[in-house]
Amino acid sequence: MQLCHERDLPEGASRGFDPHGIGQDTVLVVRWAGRLHAYADACPHHQTPMAWRKDHYLNAAGDRIVCAAHGALFEIATGRCTLGPCLGESLTPIPLTLQADGSVHLAEKK
Ligand code: FES
């Protein structure tokens, strides 16, 4: 299932997606250090969506994913919570595939 084109995610950008059409974003993708990192848009603290505004998932420094509800911070590369009420827990990684034409897809479940 296609999410976007990789050019839609320049370095430091984050975006939310609603691939299953449920009316709220359930997948977040961040490009950081050149790579795309995708996680379920559900904070381990209360399983709530995390954007503080549509497509805004990063802290002011742009080096952590932040949950808008209670401020938990997560490493972008690993999804591990480094500060906040779910310290030590992790976001759920979402596998992506990048096609030759640059389109970004959810990886097929096996
Ligand atoms: S719901 Fe994310 S920090 Fe509380």
With a pLDDT cut of 70, the percent of the chain lying above it is 99
Select from 28, 64, 65, 67 the residue to mutate for testing ligand 1; criterion: most ligand atoms less than 8 Å from CB.
67
- The confidence score (pLDDT) of residue 108 equals 78
CA distance 101 to 85: 41
CA distance 80 to 108: 24
Domain range list for the chain: 2-103
What is the whole-number distance in angstroms between the Cα of residue 48 and the centre of ligand 1?
A: 7
- The confidence score (pLDDT) of residue 105 equals 96
What's the CA dihedral at 24, 54, 7, 19 to 10 degrees? 0
Instruction: Tell me the CATH number of domain 2-103, given options 3.40.50.10860, 1.20.1440.230, 2.102.10.10, 3.10.20.30.
Output: 2.102.10.10
Read off the pLDDT of residues 78-107 as tens digits, 9 standing for 90 and up.
999 999 999 999 999 999 999 999 999 999
Output helix, strand, coil percentages for the chain, rounded to the nearest 5: 5, 40, 60
Residue in this structure with the two tokens 């609603």, named with its chain if needed: 18
pTM: 0.95
* DSSP annotation of 7: G
45 lines ligand 1 (CB under 6 A): yes
With a pLDDT cut of 90, the percent of the chain lying above it is 96
What is the whole-number distance in angstroms between the Cα of residue 67 and the centre of ligand 1?
A: 6
| Mean pLDDT (whole number) for 60-71 | 97
Mean pLDDT of the chain: 96
